Structure 1
Amino acid sequence: MTAFKGMRALLLCSAAIAAGSATAQEVVDLAPIVVDSKRDVATDSANATTTVDSTEIEDRQGGTIAELVDSVPGVNLVNGGTPVGSGISIRGLGANGTYGSDQKVGIQVGNSSKGSEEIYRVGNQLFTDPALYNSVQVFRGPGGTFQYGSGLIGGLVRAEPSFAPDVFGEEAGWKVRQLLQFSTNGDGIASSSTLGYQADGFEMLANFTWREEGITVDGAGNDRTENGIGLPSWMVTGRYSFGSADEHRLSVILQETSTDEQDVPYDTFATSAGIFGNVNRQTTDRTAELRYEYDSPTTDMVNLMVSLSYSDQEIMQEAVGIPISPVLDADHRYETTKLLLKNTAFFDTSWAAHELTAGVELSNRKRLDAASAPGGTDKRLAVFLVDEMDFRNGLTVTPELRWESQKLTGSDVDFEGEMDALVGGVSARYAFGNGFSVFGGAYYNESLPVLDDLADATFRAQSEKGRTFELGLGYDGANLLRSGDALEVKAVAYRTHLSDITTIFGVTDARYEGVEIEAAYSMESGFYVDASANIAYGYDETPGAASDILGGIPAKELRVTFGKRWGEELDLSWEVVAAARQDRDSQPTPGYAVHNLRATYRPQQGALEGMEVRFGIENVGDRLYTPNLATYAAPGRNVKLTLSKVF
C-alpha cells in the first residue's frame, strides 16, 4: 500500500508541474555546445548517466568492461585483479564484501540481462572483453532505468555490442581489423581479429579476441594472484535492413567469453587460498539476441522493437584437495530467456511534445541446483511506460512507471510464491536559456526476491525498498575564456533510503547520500580537460544499531585528465586519480594519488595510414595502494602498447 501511495504522489507531482508550465516564459533554443574531450557530459538529461564510447574504450586499453566503468563518478570496483573477481559498486550498492552482486545494480548486454545472483565471495562475471563493444552506458541511481528492470536502486550498466559500421564506417565490401596489445605487468598479451562485410542493406561482423596475462604484482612487487588468466572471447553480429525506406531491420547478436582457472583461491576477493582453499574453476558467459525493429515511414507513432534474448552464465567448480565447505564444489548456472516488445511514439499535444515509450517484458530465469544454494525458476511479467514531455519553454518532465509480477518456484525447496511491485518516479529539467539548467527526480523502487532467497523463509517473502531523491545543476557554454572554447559541467546530489534489507548482514535499514560532479572543457587549440568527483556517505539506520557507520561506501575521489590533440593524428593525456582516506569503515584505507599517461597516434598519410598506435603507462610512480572497496592492493606500474590496423 505504501508503494501505491508513493507512486500516486509522484504522478500527481508531475501533473502539477505540467499544468504550471503552461504559463512559463518562452525560451529560445540554443545551438548545442560541443566539447572536444575524451568524454561528453550529459547536461541535456535529468538522469545521472555517463557513456564511455568506443574511442575511450580503446584509449583506456582495459582488459574487462569492469575496468572501464570504474572511471565514472560513483562507480567503483570491488577488486579487479581477475575477471571473475571484479564486482561493480554504484553509490555503495551492487557488489559488497560478501557477494559479487546484491541485485541493485543491473547489467545488460544489448537487451539481454546479465549478472549472477548472490554467490558467496564470487564476483559478478562482467568480464567480457571490451573489444566486443561499441559503447558502455552507466546509469547512477534508478533514474532512466525503469524500462530496463525493477530493483535497480544503485543503477545500471548497459553494454552495446559492435556492428560492422561501428568498426569500419559505412564503406561497402570486406574489411579486416587486427589489434595486438602488450603489457609489462604480468607479461600480458592480447589479439583481437575482426572481419566485417557491408553491402545492399546487409552487414556482418565477426570478432575473436584472445587475452592472456600472467601473475601481476602490486607497487611493492608482491604477487597479486596465484595464477595468470586466459580469456578467449568471440562475437558475431549481423543486421539486414529492408523495405521501401529500409523501415524494417533484423539484427542478431551471438557472443561467448570464458575462463579456465586452475588451482586458484575459491574466494575471488582474496589473493591466497585463505580459509576456503583452492578450486579449479571454469566460467562461461554466453549471449544470444534476435532483434526486429520497425520505423514506420508514414507515422512517428510507430517505432517498434521486438527482442528475444538468451543469457547463459555457467560456473563449474571443483575443490583442490578435500573441500571444507560445500561452496567449493558448487556448480552454478543461470539461464535467462527474455522477450521484450517496446514501442516509442513521437507526437505533439497542445501543451507538449511527447516521446512516449511503452513496452511489455516476459522473462524466465532458471538456476541450477547447487551444493550451496537451491535451484528453481523466476518467471516475471512486466509492463512499463516512460513519457518524456518537452513543454517547449525549457521544461522537460519525464514520469516513469513499471509494474512487475514475479512467480518464484524452488526445484528442491517446497516453495512457490508470487509477488508484484509497482515502481517508478518522475524527473524534471529546466533550461534557463543562458547555458544553466536545474534538474531533479524522485523515485520509488523494489528489489524482488531472487532464487538465492529460496532457502530463507523471510527473505523469499519480502522485497527490498528504495526511495531516491536527486537534485542537480548543469551548465554548458562556449567562448568563455577565449574564442572557440567550450565547457560542460553537471553536478547531482542524491539521497537513497533503503529498507527491508536482506543483502547486508545485520542491517535492515540504511541511508546513502552523496554528490557526483562531471566536467569537460576544450579549446580550439586542441587542449582539453576532463574532471569528475565523487563524495559518498552511508549510514546504518537499523533500529538499535551499535553504530551508524555503514560499510561498503567508496572513498571520496577526484579524477582529472589533461590532454592535447593535434588534429586527428596525435592525442596525449595525463590522468590523475586521487582518493581521500576513508575512515568511516571498520577497515579504514589511506588516501592515495595515482598518475596515468596515454598517447594515441593515427598516421594520416603514407604507408602507416589507417594504423593506430596506443601507448600507456598506468600507475606511473609504481605506487603501492589499495582502493577503498578492494581487499588487496592495486596493480603496480604497467606499460601498455596497442597496435591496430584496418585492411
Structure 2
Amino acid sequence: MSTQFLRGTTALVCLAMAFPAFAQDDTDPGFLGTLVLTGGKRDLTYGTALSRTVVGEEEIQDRQASTVAQLIDSVPGVSLVNGTTPQGSGINIRGFGANTTYGSDQKIAVQIDGASVGSEELYRIGTQLFTDPLLYREVEVLRGTIGSFAYGSGIVGGVVLMETKDASDFTGGVPGFGGSQTFEFASNGNGRVSSTNLAWMPNEQAEFLMNYTWRDFDDLEAGNGTTIGNSAFNTPSYLAKGRFTFGQDDAHSLTLSHSRTVADDKDVPYDQFDTTAGSFGRVDRITDTRQTALEYRFDPASDLIDLRANLSYADQQIDATYIDGSSPFQAGQPVAVFCANPFFGVICADNKYETTKLNVSNRALFSTGAVEHDMLAGIEAIRKKRLDAPAAPGGTDRRIAAYVIDKMTVSNVTITPALRYETSTIESAVPLTGFPNSYDKDALMGGLALAYDFGNGLSVFGSAAYTEGLPLIDDLGATPTSQARLDTTEKSRTFELGAEYSGEEVFAQGDTFTIRGNLYQTKLWDVTSYTVAGSTSTDLDSVETRGFELEASYGSATGFYVDLAGHLGEGTEYNPDGTSAVWRNGAADRVQLTLGRKWDDRLDLSWEVVHTADQRDALGVDLPDSTIHNLRATWKPEAQGWLDGTAVRFGLENAFDKDYVGHLSSPTRKAPGRSFKVSLTKSF
C-alpha cells in the first residue's frame, strides 16, 4: 500500500472522528440495521456494517441522468465505464464489474424488482442494462461482498437494486387517479425526453400504474467541440405494475410488474465501446430487454412471519445484422463466409438469454434470552438459458441456493453472521467433442459483521466475507483453458473496517451532521475471469484491491447543505510467474463535493464539483486529473391552479466544457462536453 494512499486515508479517518454524534434510528427493515439521516440532496442510509447508498426518486429526477450507470457513478467506489449511452456504458464497483472488454465480469449483480439483469459477458457490448432511470423510485447500491449473500454467489464488487415506481406514489396512497408528465431537453445531443405516469387506485386494496418513457439523443459533443461518434441513441421504455392486498388486516399482497426497453440502432459500429467501425465493422442492431416479476407477501401480525415469494423472468434479445463490406477483415469474402469465421462471427451473431428465478424468504424477529434476533432466511432456484453464438457459448445454468442472515443484538453489540450455500449444473447447448457436456459444482460461503454502538451516536464496525464464483456458461468450451476454468471456482475474501457518526446541533442550532468512513481490502484468487496481459489463455494468479470510502452530509436550519462522497484506492494483479502490475480495472480516486441551499420545498440550488485522479484509459495509458463542475436548480412554484404540482429543473453539466476521457474508457470515446438541461414535471 502506497505512502500517499495511507496519508489520504489517515486524514479522512481523522476527519470522520472529529465530530460528536447522536444515537441512531434502527427502524428500517434492513437486516443489517440502518441509519437514516437527512442533510443535503442525498439522504444517507447506512447499515451498521454495510456499505450502502440509496439514490431516491427526488435525486433521480434532479440529476437528469440518461442511464442508470450515469446516475449511480456519484456513489463512492462506483465508476461509469465507456460513456453515458445505454449501448456502451457499464458499471464498475471497487474495480469489478464492467471492464475494457466486457460489460460485466459477473462480480456485480443487478436486479430490477428482484429480476436479475445485465450480466452476460458479451464481447464489446457493455453491461446490457437497457432501461430508463425514470422508471424507478429508488436505486440502491451495496458495495463489497458482505451484503450480497441474499442476492447471489461470486459477488465481489457489489449489488445494484432497482425498485420501480408504485401507483400509490402518485395517488398519495388513497383511492383515486393520479400521475405525472415530464418533458426534458438537453442541449448536448439535442436530447428529448418524455415520461408519462398514469396511476389508479380503485380502492385501498388495489392499485395500477402505467409508465411510458421515450428518450432520444443525437450524437454528443466533447469539450473540444468534436463529435463523439456512436453516442446517439433512442430508447423507448414502458412499465406496467399492479398490486393487490387481501385477507384479514390486508396481511396478503400480490404485486406484478413488467418493464421493457427497446433500442433499434441502424448502421452503428458493432464495438459499442468505440466511436468508429474499426476492425469489426458496422451492424444494424435491435436490443429488446424485458423483465417481469410477481411477488407474493404474507405479513400477518406476527413477529415471526414476513414471508415473500418472488418469481421473476428476465429476457434480453440482441439481433445484429452485419453490413456487408464494413469490416476491413472481410477482404472481399462473401458475407456468409466472413460470418462463419470463428473470431469475426461474433459480429453477425444474435444473442438471447433468459433468466427465471424463484426466491422465497422469511424475516423473523425473536429473542433468545438477552439476544434479539432479526433473521432473514431464504431459498432460491435459478434457471438461465442462453442461445449459442460465436464467442458466447450457449447452454443452461441451473442453480439452487439457500441462505440465512441473522442480525443478533446484545445491548450495544450487533453480531451478524451470514451463510449461503449454492449448487450449480451447467450444460452446453452443443456437444463438446472429447469433453463432458455438463458440469456440477457447489460452494459454501459467508461472512461475519460486527458493530458496536457507543450510545452517543458513535458506532464502529467491521466485517469479513468470503464468496466463490461457480463456473459459468461463458466458461463452456472444448479447450484446455475452458476445462481448467470449469474444474475450479473463483474465490475471494474481503475485510472492512470503519466508523460512523451523526449529530444534531453540531455547529448551529437545528443543524444535522452525518459522516461515515470505511476501509476495505479484497483478494481474488483461483482466477478464471482475467488473463495475463497480452495472453488469451493464461489466467492471472490473483488480484488484490484496497481502498477507503467516505460519505458525509451536513444540513443547517437555514437550508444550507453540504454533501461529500469520496474514494481512494489501489489494486495489484499478480501473474503466475511472480511478476505484478497495477490492477487494470481498478477504480479511480475521486471526490465529489456539493454545496447547496434549500428554501423549504420550493427551491433548491446546488453546485457540484467532481475531481478524479489516478485515471487510466481502456489501454492502460495514464490520463490527467479532471475537475468537472455541475450546477442544478429545482423550483416547485407555490401556487394554486395549473401550477400546483409543477416542478421545473435546470442543470448545467460540465459547466466549463472540460475536454477529457473518462476512467477506463476507450481513448477515442471522450466524455460529453457542456450540456444545459431543463425539465418540466406536472403531477396531477
With the shorter chain as reference, the TM-score category is over 0.9
Offset of 1:33 from its aligned partner?
7.3
Query: 2:620 corresponds to which residue?
Result: 586
Equivalent runs, 1:165-244 vs 2, <5 Å: 165-198=168-201, 199-226=203-230, 228-244=232-248
Query: Which of residues 439, 456, 480 is equivalent to 1:417?
Result: 439
2:496 matches 1:474: no
Is the Cα–Cα contact under 8 Å of residues 33 and 486 in structure 1 kept in the other structure? no
Query: 1:342 corresponds to which residue?
Result: 361
Q: Matches of 2:214 and 2:671 in 1, distance apart?
A: 23
Query: 1:561 corresponds to which residue?
Result: 594
Query: Which of residues 611, 615, 618 is equivalent to 2:650?
Result: 615
Q: Matches of 1:373 and 1:605 in 2, distance apart?
A: 57
Equivalences, count: 619
Query: Which of residues 295, 317, 321 is equivalent to 2:320?
Result: 317
Is the Cα–Cα contact under 8 Å of residues 33 and 476 in structure 1 kept in the other structure? no
Offset of 1:68 from its aligned partner?
0.8
Equivalent runs, 1:439-450 vs 2, <5 Å: 439-450=461-472
Query: 2:123 corresponds to which residue?
Result: 120
Offset of 1:461 from its aligned partner?
2.4
Query: Which of residues 482, 500, 508 is equivalent to 2:526?
Result: 500
Q: Matches of 2:117 and 2:223 in 1, distance apart?
A: 33
Letter in 1 for 2:499: L
Offset of 1:292 from its aligned partner?
0.4
2:545 matches 1:526: no
Is the Cα–Cα contact under 8 Å of residues 73 and 517 in structure 1 kept in the other structure? yes
Query: 1:400 corresponds to which residue?
Result: 418
Query: 1:20 corresponds to which residue?
Result: none
2:618 matches 1:600: no
Q: Which stretch shows the higher mean deviation, 231-240 or 535-544?
A: 535-544
Query: 1:11 corresponds to which residue?
Result: none
Offset of 1:372 from its aligned partner?
2.7
Is the Cα–Cα contact under 8 Å of residues 52 and 137 in structure 1 kept in the other structure? yes
Query: Which of residues 268, 277, 284 is equivalent to 2:281?
Result: 277
Equivalent runs, 1:617-636 vs 2, <5 Å: 617-631=652-666, 632-636=669-673
Is the Cα–Cα contact under 8 Å of residues 23 and 502 in structure 2 kept in the other structure? no
Offset of 1:279 from its aligned partner?
1.3
Offset of 1:227 from its aligned partner?
6.0
Q: Which stretch shows the higher mean deviation, 401-410 or 168-177?
A: 168-177
Offset of 1:63 from its aligned partner?
1.2
Q: Matches of 1:629 and 1:226 in 2, distance apart?
A: 17
Identity, in percent, stands at 42
- Unmatched 5+ stretches in structure 1: 1-27
Offset of 1:338 from its aligned partner?
0.7
Local SS of the residue matching 1:568: coil
Q: Matches of 1:200 and 1:268 in 2, distance apart?
A: 46
Query: 1:164 corresponds to which residue?
Result: 167
Query: 2:605 corresponds to which residue?
Result: 572
Equivalent runs, 1:7-406 vs 2, <5 Å: 34-198=37-201, 199-226=203-230, 228-297=232-301, 299-322=302-325, 324=329, 325-391=344-410, 393-406=411-424
Is the Cα–Cα contact under 8 Å of residues 43 and 476 in structure 1 kept in the other structure? no
CA RMSD of aligned residues (A): 1.7
Is the Cα–Cα contact under 8 Å of residues 413 and 454 in structure 1 kept in the other structure? no
2:503 matches 1:489: no
> What are the Cα deviations for residues 393-412 of structure 1, in whole angstroms up to 9, with x where unaligned?
22111111000000000011
Offset of 1:44 from its aligned partner?
4.6
Local SS of the residue matching 2:145: coil
Query: 2:12 corresponds to which residue?
Result: none
Local SS of the residue matching 2:42: coil
2:484 matches 1:458: yes
Q: Which stretch shows the higher mean deviation, 205-214 or 110-119?
A: 110-119
Q: Matches of 1:60 and 1:533 in 2, distance apart?
A: 18
Letter in 1 for 2:250: D
Offset of 1:287 from its aligned partner?
0.5
- Unmatched 5+ stretches in structure 2: 1-21, 26-34, 330-343, 533-539
Q: Matches of 1:171 and 1:246 in 2, distance apart?
A: 15
- Length-normalised TM-score, structure 1: 0.93
Local SS of the residue matching 1:67: helix
Offset of 1:458 from its aligned partner?
1.6
The alpha-carbon distance between structure 1 residues 373 and 35, as it changes in their structure 2 partners (threshold 3 A), is closer
Q: Matches of 2:220 and 2:188 in 1, distance apart?
A: 5
Is the Cα–Cα contact under 8 Å of residues 69 and 84 in structure 2 kept in the other structure? no
Offset of 1:247 from its aligned partner?
0.3
2:671 matches 1:644: no
Letter in 2 for 1:369: D
Is the Cα–Cα contact under 8 Å of residues 502 and 508 in structure 1 kept in the other structure? no
